[in-house]
Amino acid sequence: MQKSFKITILTIAIGVFSGCVPAPTPQIGIGIGGAIGQNSQNTPVIQTPQPIKEVEVDKEYGAKPLNYVTSIRSYFTTKIARGNLSTYKYGEPKRAYKRKGFAYGGDIAWKGWLVETSIATPTKTGRMLTPKPYMVLFSGEQIVEHILGYNHKLIVKVDK
Amino acid sequence: MANFNTHFMVASGASAVVSGTLLSMEVVSPQEAVIAFLLGVFGGLLPDIDSARSTSIKVGFNVFSLLITAMIVFIKSSTYSLIEMFIVAGLVFGGIRFVFLDVFRKISKHRGMFHSIPVAFIFGIIVSILMQYFFELNSQVSWVYGFMITTGYFVHLILDEIYSVDLQNKRMKKSAGTAMKFGKFKTTKDKIQTILIYASIPLLMTIAPDTTLIENALFSNDAWLIFKDALLPTDGKWFFH
């Protein structure tokens, strides 16, 4: 058998068998909130569609983070001692920028969204401490870094 | 007056205790504690840099010139070629280590205002400012480093005062009271110098990092409770946890 003939047969075979892979069954739904009749044992409940959060995109500062609460919580779990046992409070994202330290040139290092977060962590003995302030810097949904305190000489908060 | 080795040993011991305490109180991370320790030792040698022939002035200026040279190399590494960086680094190092040192030796007077309490605070504030503006450190760590410099500085001043007591002859040496002083008030020049030093403290504080975090970390009720927790074994067992 010629080589080209073998390749053709193999390609057809792959095509045929990949067509046999079960595809997800089409579901009848009304949009957000899942399909009606998906779970036959449950009484179908028509859920009112949740308003889709519009992503606020700033030309200079990028997209405003929407899932910052979840992101911050999971980020600090590994960044601070007993982060998983801590209680968190979050502010609204603010536009901000940060300069590099003068030792590194002093240019603008980051422009994005800053979320002021206060975290109360327990001590080794379990005593809950006064919450500590943190600034969490975002580029879109991505956390770039965190800084202890609500003030830093190299950070400028554009939104007050 | 204590010699260089005594100052070095005592400053190292005191600095180890303070930085170790800050580490166990979770004010600093292990890496930050090491830097805090080194700064404490450096602070303990700093007051003698006004002594023209002391080892401190050599060590201090070597460290300072190396630091500034390294900083300039970092800043210019993306724009300068290796040869340019080499030339600039050499000029900066030589300029500080020899020219500036020579000028400094001529204008400074040993046991002048460098051996005084306000200057200990000024060095601490300057270090905390540099840490935030130059190395982007947060306010708490910047102030911890400044605090370590001031602590080391105080250890030096106290040690000098202790050495001004002659225990065998049971008398005070001539140097008593010249190390740990609030200022010099003999001549008009001394008074102006003292006023300028005191006036510079609030001015420096206007550009210094926020102090709220360090106040909470070291001087609050929380800090005291954390210290108590860290002081003794919480489970009552000694060494076998």
Average pLDDT rounded to a whole number, residues B117-139: 94
Average pLDDT rounded to a whole number, residues B5-20: 94
Kindly tell me the sign of the dihedral angle through the C-alpha atoms of B96, B34, B55, B185: positive
- Separation of alpha carbons B146 and B122, rounded Å: 9
- Separation of alpha carbons B177 and B115, rounded Å: 10
- Separation of alpha carbons A153 and B11, rounded Å: 31
User: pLDDT by residue (tens digit) across B150-163?
Assistant: 999 999 999 999 98
- Separation of alpha carbons B151 and A99, rounded Å: 30
For chain B, give every domain's residue range. 4-52+108-231
Please state, in angstroms and as integers, the Cα–Cα distance from residue B140 to each residue in B33, B58, B100, B143, B214, following that order. 13, 31, 32, 5, 5
The helix (H) or strand (E) run that includes residue A132 is strand A132-139
Chain B residue numbers with beta carbons less than 8 Å from the beta carbon of A130 are 216, 220, 222
What pLDDT, on a 0 to 100 scale, did the predictor assign at position B75? 74
Q: Report helix, strand or coil for B166.
A: strand
Q: How many CB atoms lie within 10 A of CB B13?
A: 14
- Separation of alpha carbons B160 and A28, rounded Å: 87
Chain A residue numbers with beta carbons less than 8 Å from the beta carbon of B71 are 103
What does pTM read for this prediction?
A: 0.77
User: pLDDT by residue (tens digit) across A14-37?
Assistant: 655 554 444 444 444 444 433 334
What pLDDT, on a 0 to 100 scale, did the predictor assign at position A25? 45
ipTM of the complex: 0.75
What pLDDT, on a 0 to 100 scale, did the predictor assign at position A43? 46
Chain A residue numbers with beta carbons less than 8 Å from the beta carbon of B229 are 123-125, 127
Who has greater pLDDT, B221 or B2?
B221
- Separation of alpha carbons A52 and A33, rounded Å: 12
At B179, is the pLDDT very low, low, confident or very high (cuts 50, 70, 90)?
A: confident
Average pLDDT rounded to a whole number, residues B192-203: 95
Q: Do B210 and A100 touch (CB under 8 A)?
A: no
User: pLDDT by residue (tens digit) across A52-108?
Assistant: 666 778 888 999 999 999 999 999 998 998 999 999 999 999 999 999 888 777 789
pLDDT at A2 over 70: no
What pLDDT, on a 0 to 100 scale, did the predictor assign at position A29? 41
**Residue among A79, A129, A144 with most chain B CBs within 10 A, to mutate:** A129
Average pLDDT rounded to a whole number, residues B145-172: 87
